[in-house]
A and B are shown apart, each in its own frame.
Chain A
Amino acid sequence: MEIASGPSTDSSAARTIPIDSSSILDEFKQQNLPACKPVLKPSYVITTFFLLGFIFLPIGLTTLCASRTVVEIVDRYDSECVPGAFRGNKVSFIKDSSLPKNCSRILKVRKHMKAPIYIYYQLDNYYQNHRRYVKSRSDQQLLHGLKSSNTGSCEPEESNNGLPVVPCGLIAWSLFNDTYTLIRGTKKLSINRKNIAWKSDRDRKFGKQVYPHNFQNGTLIGGGKLDPNIPLSDQEDLIVWMRTAAFPSFRKLYGRIEEDLKADDVIVVHLMNNYNTYSFGGKKKLVLSTSSWLGGRNDFLGVAYISVGGSSIILSIVFLLFHIKIPR
């Protein structure tokens, strides 16, 4: 073995070998890419937490305020609206179409409610997100009507008496059909039931030329009926209903009152208690709510922001104390 003269000149010699002169490739191969090395020092931790708190607390307060300006009236009526005689067997009451389903509720407005006031119905223990339920619709049919034969997913509400159903599927079949009439004093409050669905749904998901056909004609009636003379794109109840909820407890928009309700107003609600939630023990609620820029009343976001912000500040102080007491 021949020994080269002198000690290692390895690194300098190696530099001269023609490997790859392209610098970025070279940096890559030699693993020498420029990099910043964030080191999570205590001071950084403290500062980060402090900044976090500093930013989050105001956001939290604003959001909470927004949420708190919202006035909300919630009235559960499912059990109250069953006549005393049927309390023991609510299901037979709701299934008996010969019985009158009307019912009256009295709501008291505690705080001034500014228009628009939104009317929601809220269902609990209702699994609109069940796999069988979610897939039981045909978006093609909703858009193109009878032209679309792609309705296999609509099982078991695909056809009736050999004729296709429009809109098909369990979702449409189980359309919510309680109705509400609100009266303040002696005057009926007009409820605007237009424009309650998302515009994109109305315009692009439900056909303007698609009319209900052969709907709810079966032996089993699931829910509401539709006026066969109004195209689906204008059946906003249906459109709202068919934007299925993610969780078994959900609200859906029913309509809007476009005048203010003053504090201590008494509102009488005449409602038709048609919809069957009694079979599975679901609740029904009527909700009147105003809205802020953030939407309905929901303190959670504000509280979350405030608690994150607050705990960040506390943590930053605790860490700061640690840092001063036992510096590394």
Chain B
Amino acid sequence: MMNSMNVPSKRSTLERKLDKLILALFGTLFMMCLIGAIGSGIFINQKYYYLGLDKGVAAEFNPSNRFVVTALTFFTLITLYSTVIPISLYVSIEMIKFIQSTQFINKDLHMYHAETNTPALARTSNLNEELGQVEYIFSDKTGTLTRNLMEFFKCSIGGEVYGSGVTEIEKGAAQRNGIKIQELRKSATAIQEKGFNFDDHRLMRGAWRNEPNSDTCKEFFRCLAICHTVLPEGDESPEKITYQAASPDEAALVTAAKNFGFFFYRRTHTMIHVRESCVEKMGKIQDVAYEILNVLEFNSTRKRQSVVCRYPNGRLVLYCKGADTVIYERLASGNDDLKKVNRAHLEQFGSAGLRTLCLAYRDLSPETYESWNEKFIQAKSSLRGRETKLDEVAELIEKDLILIGSTAIEDKLQEGVPACIETLSRAGIKVWVLTGDQMGTAINIAYACNLINNEMKQFIISSETDAIREVENRGDQVEIACFIKEEVKKQLKKCLEEAQHYLHSAPGPKLTLVIDGKCLMYALDPTLRVMLLNLSLNCTSVVCCRVSPLQKAQVTSMVKKGARKITLSIGDGANDVSMIQAAHIGIGISGLEGMQAVMASDFAIAQFRYLTDLLLVHGRWSYLRICKVIAYFFYKNLTFTLTQFWFTFQTGFSGQRFYDDWFQSLYNVIFTALPVIIVGLFDKDVSASLSKRYPELYKEGIRDAFFKWRVVVTWACFSVYQSLVFYHFAITSSASGKNSSGRMLGQWDISTMAFTCVVITVNLRLLMICNSITRWHYISVGGSILAWFMFIFVYSVLRENVFFVIYVLMSTFYFYLTVLLVPIVALFGDFIYLGIQRWFFPYDYQIVQEIHRHELDDNTSAGSLEVGRQRTAQEEGNPLPREISRHTGFAFDSPGFESFFAAQLGIYAPQKAWDVARRASMKSKPKMPQRN
């Protein structure tokens, strides 16, 4: 399989950074040991006669060979300081992540899709925190952003807009502007059908006859019913019939005609049969057969399709539908008002994310037709350059058209997609759409998803230019490659310069890049890759259309490796597998289109919109928690070990333990283990609903604000400070008698005392990093401290060296005063730091915390995620595009149209590579010819 790649093993970026931290700790360990070892070499001397160094001394203390002493002490010290390496950290993190993924992500009701009974599924547990740092999302279109379901949604007939629906994007815009949109209740006339989501009492059930422009309406419906290449299948009744269409758009249009009372039910080679109701009179039904004389096919250059038909009464009409640009060029002069109004409607549809087509007709006189038909037949039977000739002939008749109106089809997005994308973009995440679809379709979806809007500056790098086409027609592969490469290079350069210009002019417009697969192939060439990367990183959104599965992966790895940003790929089909594997995190949409994507993914969710929860809530929390856990582990082990390190200086660098072996072993296992896991599971800075309400909080993760080296160094500084506090208090306590009996404390008394202080301090420090404290925090922290006391009460009875130390200690006032004082002195610095940091340099989440301090942490209300944020002045204003929009949403997806239709007529037409790709992707088989 050409598109398959080796399955990479994924580790989170944070873990890689953790490896570096561990390396740094190893470095620290080495330095500490080296210092101690050198010290021991210098210290050891026969003059300390009480150490018995003059007869038969083991090599490790033999003063006559200081080098050996140094070397051996080095190894002793390694075992002594090995606590600085948080070995249990990995175990704890694994445990935390496992619970996070199996219990939190998999069981989250906000990511549970009730209709398909699919919960979210974390297929790996080691990428949880990576979800909190994603900066680039690569999304497939069909099945991920959209449902691959076209619905007839609105239309404009004779300058009048029909259809009462509100698109997701309009809802989003309204919400942003604080307007409440009342969802109109579906009236009784509304028809629920696949491909038809339209409701207007003025048109339905024959009511159009009462409209002032009923004649135009009739033409409109007839055009829908006749001008298409759909094949009906099944029973010839409106309920049971199914339409086989090359594209779902076509099917939607024919379905619409059916619902308006123009039921297309049979096609023969020359005829189209339509059952028309309520045309002459209300309630009357008649079957009409139209003779199809010519079909002028759709292709991507013509962007239109026409049918010449003869009515039973002999009337000759050319019906034409196509992109507004091509239709408007061919309209008869006059009737400017209608054109203007219709164009306004097209723009309105376009900005609402709908796919538009213009409908027009032309009455033909038999003479005109006959003379034209001759030319047509000639062209059709020509042997060379038939397609070009056909196109030329079509031009002759497709003129002086009369505009009827326009249709608006909704490429049904998955629920909540625009809102989700908007939230994600506010969170600083850039969404790229990588799709196998045509450019027009892709752009349209990008509009519908709010990825592109009319205020944005678009850079379009397309291979569909005249120059390229001309070269392609010559058919010389090498020349084509060279030419396209040059062309792409030129365009990239131009775009990059422009982009730079916009970036420097503040506040410049946001930038988007649209590029198609063929250009991408050359742009991904190592020589151009840097330019492409520079350009695309400056864009807020990028749309890649007509890309192969392998290219999807290439784009993903370009950003992953080139920009060193955290990437996430989301897709549902087999053609997304390589992209899912290439990205840091792969997400599969579980549900409809097979399981390949899910099997290759790291997380599977049922709907695109659950990304909000997955990233902004689970990802952010996980990141925050893991950062805290790591930092805390680092801190507690460093503090503990440093105390030991300072002690080494006072023991003649002999490597004597400050703490008893068991204290040291159990420190990580019992006395400080549980609370940090509790933090790793339960810590929440702000509630889930607030996380989604303030997506900007996510940016802290992208910036890696909680695990920078600066953060680590801060922790390290406090570690040093605290260890010095413990150590200094231990020193001073040895100076004089500790109770009224005048007796002195020994080494183990002091170490037990210091250890008590360390355990208490370190556990209390944990409470200071918590943003939310549940009773489990109290239980675990209290339990850990209690466990230490329980342990020492028993242990000090059993062991000789620490025999009774705790009881001796507890018989002194000194012990209690120290245990009260030392943790507070040790945490004094941290407390001041935290106070000042929150006061003067707060993190974003801290600000949000304080704004919503008095609100109850109510997760259940998060279900009705309301976007009620304050609007900035920039965002206020017209929901409609300010300038005249150039985007009117033409998209007519006809994969393999020519060949499809030709096949119906028994004509062989070679399939084009892209059609094959498209088909392949629809069939979820990532088979694609490599094009070079």
Contacts and interface: CB of A to CB of B under 8 A. Distances in A.
Given A245-B734, A251-B735, A296-B737, A131 B654 contact: yes
B489 interface: no
Contact of B107 (A29, A37, A248): A29
Given A42-B835, A222-B49, A295 B770 contact: no
Contact of A11 (B49, B729, B864): B864
A222 B54 CA distance: 12
B110 A11 contact: yes
Contact of B813 (A4, A52, A196, A293): A293
A249 to B, nearest CB: 8
B857 A35 contact: yes
Given A127-B48, A129-B656, A315-B832, A35 B774 contact: yes
A38 B770 CA distance: 8
B803 A280 contact: no
A252 B857 CA distance: 59
Contacts of B770: 38
A298 B736 contact: yes
Interface in B60-101: 61, 76
A31 B731 CA distance: 45
Given A31-B688, A243-B744, A244-B746, A13 B114 contact: yes
Given A10-B863, A130-B652, A157-B52, A204 B832 contact: no
Interface stretch (B277-285, B295-303, B818-826): B818-826
Interface string A6-33: 0111111111010110000000111111
A138 B290 CA distance: 113
Contacts, number: 283
Contacts of B739: 291, 293-295
Contacts of B76: 131
A205 B654 CA distance: 26
B736 A251 contact: yes
B734 A133 contact: no
Contacts of B113: 10
Interface stretch (B349-357, B804-812, B897-905, B907-915): B804-812
Contacts of B682: 31, 33, 35
B850 interface: yes
Interface stretch (A96-104, A180-188, A261-269, A301-309): A301-309
B1 interface: no
A29 B800 contact: no
B742 A289 contact: yes
Contact of B812 (A59, A276, A295): A295
A291 B742 CA distance: 6
Interface in A99-150: 116, 118, 120, 126-134, 136, 139-140, 143
A37 B855 CA distance: 11
Given A130-B651, A296-B742, A304 B804 contact: no
Contacts of A253: 737, 742-744
Nearest to B688: A31
Given A11-B863, A295-B738, A298-B735, A198 B743 contact: yes
B109 interface: yes
Contacts of A132: 51-53, 61, 654
Given A37-B849, A300-B732, A308-B825, A31 B744 contact: no
Given A131-B656, A248-B650, A200 B807 contact: yes
Nearest to B839: A42
Interface in A273-328: 276, 279-281, 289, 291-298, 300-301, 304-305, 308, 311, 315, 319, 322, 328
A45 B750 contact: no
Given A10-B113, A40-B834, A198-B808, A245 B744 contact: yes
A54 interface: no
Interface residues of A, number: 105
A127 B654 contact: yes
A133 B505 CA distance: 75
B104 A174 contact: no
Contacts of B654: 127, 129-132
B723 to A, nearest CB: 16
Nearest to B591: A1
Contacts of A134: 656, 747
A88 interface: no
A277 to B, nearest CB: 9
B51 A127 contact: yes
Contacts of B883: none
B124 interface: no
B112 interface: yes
B390 interface: no
A85 interface: no
A31 B825 contact: no
Contact of A38 (B731, B744, B773): B773
B853 interface: yes
B730 A197 contact: no
Interface in B117-147: 117, 147
A250 interface: yes
Given A42-B835, A42-B839, 12 more contacts: A31-B688, A48-B831, A118-B742, A120-B737, A127-B652, A130-B651, A139-B801, A156-B52, A201-B804, A250-B744, A253-B743, A308-B828
Interface of A: 1, 3-5, 7-15, 17, 19-20, 28-42, 45, 48, 52, 56, 59, 63, 116, 118, 120, 126-134, 136, 139-140, 143, 155-157, 170, 173-174, 196-198, 200-201, 204-205, 220, 222-223, 240, 243-253, 256, 276, 279-281, 289, 291-298, 300-301, 304-305, 308, 311, 315, 319, 322, 328
7 contacts: A37-B853, A127-B654, A128-B747, A132-B53, A223-B50, A245-B746, A246-B751
